[in-house]
Structure 1
């Protein structure tokens, strides 16, 4: 099936606006697509300017018309993906004192139920929160978190009802199932209870959507009486709250992308003014855990040149930098990602040679051992749980062929107990697939890891299409984990690949620093090198690759579309950060000040301005042949505002010299995360995968080699 344009595409009117920085003039013909009233739109989408709404709705209509021939394929893909989900799935209960807490789904339901039951019983379930009931009548609904109090009597739960990430916290009496009168609006997810469950700390989000203030809410009082606990003075820093695993300390963390600072409050004395651990130093990050029996903190930090991080210890009563003493030294090439301190054991999640592992240290004698796996590419995550005085931790393992496995691991005896294996109701045989990790040589000689999966019987003669996914920003590493959705591509003859490009931390912190600021272009050239290598090795061929990325990965999509259009057949750009220069020049936008450490500050630096201008996707669209492009955004997205993909598509339509198709869809009822329900999200995935199949002319549903599709009733 070949995708063809359905007549004349919408064309945005040109209304030139000129700005000047560092003596450099820049003309933007489509700046009018940004509503001057955008802050109000985040809270109430109905106030969107009428002309802008008309244009976006015209684009949405055009896209739906273009994708109409794929309606059957989209439905087939959706049913396949839904058939791989255990609809009545549940998490493994996590013990906490007399109860064990877990989430579960009801067959056919979009949202989870948050539940508990007596710790040592399989019965006696109490539903703390049914998100489906709360979502009734809402076009968008997402739970931020559900945090039970230490007394187990109350649960604080938050929800976003617009997609704009303004969450409102309510308090639920777990025994009665009813909410108290308490209502705390305009928060970011995450609260921290005091030790008695009488109050909690939360972060308030301001009109620019910046979490800069921490308040304390006392149960049973109006939010207007909440006490301000901490104010962050630097708009480039965001604030969050949490607790140490010991439960003894409430943590207030201020951070940007390269610097952090922590204040502490005793959980049993929440009225105590916050105590500074160590003042912020540019480029120094730190995070702490509490070793309660030894009255000390264990601090994960990159101080003193520890690029891949080290662990230091400091006295509980004097935790300042001057009292930091080395506990686990820096080991170049072994990146410490996370750490948890239990009463008798200290656990670290690390990455070495691009693969994760868990290191366990018995605190009493310092003896260590590791938990690792043998596949070429895999994902490994550890959870901290609720309890401190325990010898059992939980971790999850998967690979691109192996469904997720959840284990309880005894830190002392080193035995692991399989608690759950992800079920694929429609059937999945890992032996039918091959997962590999290969390396592409970048333009400067660096070796770029690429994880991939394909059917074992696929002939690798260069004829197979490939979906190549990438991100490459903020130090975020993309795991080589199991995905039920990508199997729909693999079963139709695709190679599904992930390029672990610079800008992430797959190969340590240096991998991140070599993909940011003035080195940002390495991210894009690494991705191009990955695509070229896949073609050279016969996994696919040039012009037969569909590139896929979202958010900052959407910026990647825009950049490679400009730089190497002939390599790609199609581009899938979800909530794409493509108007980089204009956004980073605008300090009033929600995320701009913290972003300057990632991209540079073009307001103050001509060098930063020229560097960003050299790759900013919107600014570099030019007259040339482009791949087929499908861009998606969300009207209430505070991270990547809707006008970025809208402006980009308008300029692409103006400059494209070939007859390729360019589509834009703006979700008028959602933000950065797209649709909120689990099945609605699958429909979104089915839509973009149908596009990928169509542009590579692999859109015949009969070409699938998947197991039979199972519908919601379990029938073939």
Structure 2
């Protein structure tokens, strides 16, 4: 391990903050650019002192990992070799066409295409690589066809800042119209007559606060403001029901929602409120004729239920239960078709699809037998159909796409993920463990390893975790993990509190004043994997990103001796300062998730007790690789930069500590599918290096 270069040291510029009569000192707050909004749009305006520090850290990281350069290239080649480069989705029917997405050999960006259903040649609608040509960063934020199939609304981000430019393409000519709309949230929704497009515009603080209606072929400066959300604590989105009859304005934070509707065939009508927001009540809407079908947790339905209500009188007092609440069985989503309804639900940590006959009320389900697996329910485009599409995979089984006839119950395999370099599922073992937590709960852990790996405590192990916002990390097939597993690693996912793996209660027990359960669950998973002889503590590399990166910072402070290395990607580690700063894009909408330290002293003290940056101590830490994105609007670059600066100034011992800032990307890292693999290869090379396998 090459460590002969001295690491960079950020200058300490002490500043004391006072809140609720409590003081905290921040020596590295200067790394937060005062003009951060401008930097999101134009990284070249970053302050010279900040840029110099970030570039010095990048140079140090490159120097330290230089001995793994050949290994990184080999890992990259392996991972790329498992990707079918000329891959294509199964096209989805929509009226006279079937629409799909594919990649070309060597291509980094997707190609959107359609094929006439009555025969005819495939037509390219949007060629991602051509659009990305000459750009250091490029990401398509969505592409959707108009109802009359004459236009394509598509959006792109070429900074990584998630400010998307929306364009309208004439599919007859392949040329974009002059209707160029800046600073959108990405994508647009067409009215039934294809004359109008609805879209969300972001404000100066990157908040999706205003819904506009644009008339195709007119100057966007004349666009009509349809709805403005003035509460900075709420996000806003726009969509359409499966039937296509209703345009929905969805306003929500992490625990409360409100939906307004506009008839798709009367797009200039004023929005109609379905049910006013009520703290703690969530709901999502589909329609069928004169009825709305609503998925909600109203009425103490913690794991959600489905209700119906007349579209012309949709208030909460008129809701009637259709699918009753069943404790422990979490309904994740629902979709309405002409003769049936589907819902995706999870019980005991495993998903299933349920088909509900609208006429008779009968139900049947689709489920699988593996110990751990992932199930996805596709939306499709058509309402009048008897076929749904779903995907299935497990940690050993490549993704499979099925068409399922709800009448005959026939299941047709339409596509199976190809692994060009070869994959034999029987060579691998997947298991589901239950790790005991200190308070009596049990934490599910999904495990993958090669059948030849000895489980005697000597194997290195990569333990992944997230545990926030109710997001469940599926036990799905991941070709990238095979590079580690084939080298003797055990790959494990800890399904910790803060996700919804064991129902909505699992989420509530890992947020706000119970957030520390997320961290102790992850540590309990590590302990159990050691107790069961999968690995030893000094052989565990912990991995998490974004809110999972906060998890990495927390466990680094709480139990550094239980991990040999930590990979923290775009880590949310300066939690207290960020939750106190209501000018940042996500702060007010995040208060229901973490607590509001501005208004609540108890919330301030609780967040301060675990915020990774605020709890760095003079002690030995495991080897750490932190990764940031300069134009990241979600976890701003200065959070990992400040964290690494304080760690470097405070920690004892000589463990490796590195910060890599992508100077041309945001939250998701590199935008191209192969460029992203280079970042994965770097992470894996670090894991192999710190466990002595490089």
Question: For the superposition of Structure 1 and Structure 2, which TM-score range results when normalised by the shorter chain?
Answer: over 0.9
User: In angstroms, what is the RMSD of aligned CA positions?
Assistant: 0.6
Uncovered stretches (5+) of structure 2, i.e. residues with no partner: none
C-alpha separation between the residues in 2 aligned to 1:443 and 1:594?
31
Contact 2:166 / 2:187 at 8 angstroms: preserved in 1?
A: no
C-alpha separation between the residues in 1 aligned to 2:519 and 2:222?
50
C-alpha separation between the residues in 1 aligned to 2:552 and 2:537?
16
2:626 matched to which residue of 1?
Answer: 631
Moved runs in structure 1, 4+ residues, more than 3 A? none
- Kindly report which structure 2 residues correspond to 1:131-142, keeping only aligned pairs within 5 A, or say none: 131-142=128-139
Please state if 1:34 is matched with 2:32. yes
SS of 1:157 mapped into structure 2:
strand
2:124 matched to which residue of 1?
Answer: 127
SS of 2:185 mapped into structure 1:
strand
2:266 matched to which residue of 1?
Answer: 269
Contact 2:399 / 2:417 at 8 angstroms: preserved in 1?
A: yes
2:503 matched to which residue of 1?
Answer: 508
Uncovered stretches (5+) of structure 1, i.e. residues with no partner: 700-716
C-alpha separation between the residues in 1 aligned to 2:118 and 2:332?
33
C-alpha separation between the residues in 1 aligned to 2:462 and 2:379?
34
1:412 matched to which residue of 2?
Answer: 407
1:288 matched to which residue of 2?
Answer: 285
Please state if 1:363 is matched with 2:374. no
2:227 matched to which residue of 1?
Answer: 230
Number of residue equivalences:
694
Contact 1:4 / 1:661 at 8 angstroms: preserved in 2?
A: no
Contact 2:234 / 2:253 at 8 angstroms: preserved in 1?
A: yes
1:486 matched to which residue of 2?
Answer: 481
C-alpha separation between the residues in 2 aligned to 1:604 and 1:321?
30
C-alpha separation between the residues in 2 aligned to 1:515 and 1:324?
30
2:425 to 426, 430, 433: 430
1:346 matched to which residue of 2?
Answer: 341
Q: CA deviation at 1:196?
A: 0.7
| CA offset digits 1:180-218 (Å, max 9, x no partner) | 111011000232110011111100000100001000010
Q: CA deviation at 1:152?
A: 0.3
SS of 1:326 mapped into structure 2:
strand
C-alpha separation between the residues in 2 aligned to 1:348 and 1:384?
11
Contact 2:387 / 2:403 at 8 angstroms: preserved in 1?
A: yes
Contact 1:628 / 1:660 at 8 angstroms: preserved in 2?
A: yes
Contact 1:171 / 1:179 at 8 angstroms: preserved in 2?
A: yes
SS of 1:603 mapped into structure 2:
coil
Q: CA deviation at 1:120?
A: 4.3
1:602 to 591, 597, 604: 597
Contact 1:6 / 1:62 at 8 angstroms: preserved in 2?
A: no
Contact 2:2 / 2:65 at 8 angstroms: preserved in 1?
A: no
2:243 matched to which residue of 1?
Answer: 246
Contact 1:190 / 1:241 at 8 angstroms: preserved in 2?
A: no
C-alpha separation between the residues in 2 aligned to 1:120 and 1:29?
67
Contact 2:153 / 2:187 at 8 angstroms: preserved in 1?
A: no
1:145 to 131, 136, 142: 142
SS of 1:546 mapped into structure 2:
strand
Contact 2:462 / 2:491 at 8 angstroms: preserved in 1?
A: yes
2:635 matched to which residue of 1?
Answer: 640
1:583 matched to which residue of 2?
Answer: 578
Please state if 1:166 is matched with 2:198. no
Contact 1:338 / 1:350 at 8 angstroms: preserved in 2?
A: yes
Contact 1:190 / 1:240 at 8 angstroms: preserved in 2?
A: no
Q: CA deviation at 1:6?
A: 3.5
| CA offset digits 1:6-52 (Å, max 9, x no partner) | 41000000000111111110000000001101010001000000110
C-alpha separation between the residues in 1 aligned to 2:537 and 2:100?
47
C-alpha separation between the residues in 2 aligned to 1:429 and 1:308?
38
SS of 1:555 mapped into structure 2:
helix
SS of 1:698 mapped into structure 2:
coil
SS of 1:190 mapped into structure 2:
coil
C-alpha separation between the residues in 1 aligned to 2:539 and 2:571?
22
| CA offset digits 1:247-301 (Å, max 9, x no partner) | 0000001000000000000000100000000011000000011112xx1011000
2:652 matched to which residue of 1?
Answer: 657
SS of 1:181 mapped into structure 2:
coil
Please state if 1:325 is matched with 2:323. no
2:391 to 396, 412, 424: 396
1:450 matched to which residue of 2?
Answer: 445
1:711 matched to which residue of 2?
Answer: none
| CA offset digits 1:447-502 (Å, max 9, x no partner) | 00000100011110000000000000000000000000000000000000000000
2:65 matched to which residue of 1?
Answer: 67
1:87 matched to which residue of 2?
Answer: 85
C-alpha separation between the residues in 1 aligned to 2:125 and 2:351?
34
1:43 matched to which residue of 2?
Answer: 41
- Kindly report which structure 2 residues correspond to 1:533-544, keeping only aligned pairs within 5 A, or say none: 533-544=528-539
TM-score normalised by the chain length of structure 2: 1.00
Q: CA deviation at 1:4?
A: 3.3
| CA offset digits 1:512-561 (Å, max 9, x no partner) | 00000000000000000000000000000111100000000000000000
2:11 matched to which residue of 1?
Answer: 13
C-alpha separation between the residues in 1 aligned to 2:125 and 2:342?
31
